[in-house]
Structure 1
């Protein structure tokens, strides 16, 4: 992410996202291992997930010469994702709502254990509240292109 093309507010929001990612730890959420906010480039370093995205195994398995996922493996992946989302939504110290859950935001390890990725559209939930705060936590250049036009980052 090139900081020369984004505003000060977007940079502040990216740093806020880093703070959130440093707090959220669960075996079914991709962990932030490191980051750099110096210079013209912003870099986030996550867990390495050698099997890639779930969408690759669901929709592009023939192109990559992969075996189709068995029913049991699909169920295990769904349960992993559900556990990660349960933690994020209800069990974490502060609740967050993931706003962009899709197969391309689910990564698979060598053992096909799933981890949820992409916290670019996370919303904070007030303590003890059921409603969601209106402010989107995310960073320009990290949000999926189909959403980038819908949010103001200046």
Structure 2
């Protein structure tokens, strides 16, 4: 599966835990990619919430960058909303859609106001929301995140995010 800056592989640890391994492509590793990688690592090491995808580990060696996440078996929400026929999936019921929306809202609430340091995601879209076996939603991809000063307000003066 292709991710934002690379390819995502499914793997398994010796103890049987399934993982998702995101390998950033060396052709796209540039200052922007390194900056986003460092920001994503700094965010993911500061936040833990049941509706944010868990970072299990990472590795950097020269131009090789690897992120290891918990595996989310149902994949991206976008597949279930826009491509369910292509992937031979059942369409999501309205009850399940509401549950997913609430999960995402809880994850965003945590990032925006409940975490030790507040963050704004800036790239929330269906392809950055992953689903577990029981369709619990978790938010992914914290590269474009913006820190909010403690007790401060944030005024956005630029467009941020990616298509999809």
TM-score per shorter chain, which class?
0.7 to 0.9
Q: How many residues align?
A: 141
Greater strand share, 1 or 2? 2
Identify if the C-alpha distance between structure 1 residues 45 and 133 changes in structure 2 by more than 3 Å, giving closer, same or farther: farther
Gapped regions of structure 2 (runs ≥ 5):
1-23
CA contact (8 A) 1:36 1:44 kept: yes
Higher-RCO chain (CA-CA 8 Å, sequence separation at least 6): 1
Tell me the residue number matched to 1:95.
118
Greater helix share, 1 or 2? 1
Gapped regions of structure 1 (runs ≥ 5):
136-142, 148-154
Q: 2:71 aligns with which of 33, 48, 53?
A: 48
Q: Are residue 19 (structure 1) and residue 59 (structure 2) matched?
A: no
**Cα shift at 1:39:** 3.2
Q: Distance in 2 between matches of 1:101 and 1:9?
A: 19
RMSD of aligned Cα (Å): 2.6
Q: 2:54 aligns with which of 10, 31, 35?
A: 31
Q: 2:85 aligns with which of 62, 65, 73?
A: 62
CA contact (8 A) 1:125 1:133 kept: no
